[in-house]
Amino acid sequence: MNSPIKLIMSWDITPEREQEYFEFVIREFLPGMQRLGFELSDAWATVYGDQPQIQVAAILPSQNRLNALMQSSDWVSLNNQLQDFVHNFTKKVVPARGGFQF
């Protein structure tokens, strides 16, 4: 059975790269994810506390679809570009359910 899954990514923005980061994320990263077929579901910024600065989540119809997308050259390129602006990047996959998920 192919159940919807959620890809949850988090990271911290590299100091001194904030402006470049925000321009990249708004102009390229998020639109690129949507073009690839990721259904963006959450985007959070931590303003206080010891948690990752940014968390982004996207829903996909199945683990197989996620696997195929993450092996695509388009995703590899987008992800590599993101890494130029962030550190402490993590990702995990969980069964999709309503509401906020860590």
In whole angstroms, what is the distance from residue 39 CA to residue 69 CA?
12
Instruction: Calculate the average pLDDT of the chain.
Output: 92
32 with 93: CB under 8 angstroms? no
The pTM (predicted TM-score) of the whole model is 0.89
Other CB atoms within 10 Å distance of the CB of residue 17: 14
91 versus 97: which is more confidently predicted? Answer: 91
- pLDDT at position 1 over 60: no
Q: What is the pairing mode between strands 86-95 and 5-13?
A: antiparallel
How far apart (Å, rounded) are the C-alpha atoms in residues 80 and 96? 25
pLDDT digits (tens, 9 = 90+) for 25-73: 999 999 999 999 999 998 898 888 888 999 999 999 999 999 999 999 9
Position 100 scores a pLDDT of: 57
Would you identify the CATH topology of the domain 5-94? Alpha-Beta Plaits (3.30.70)
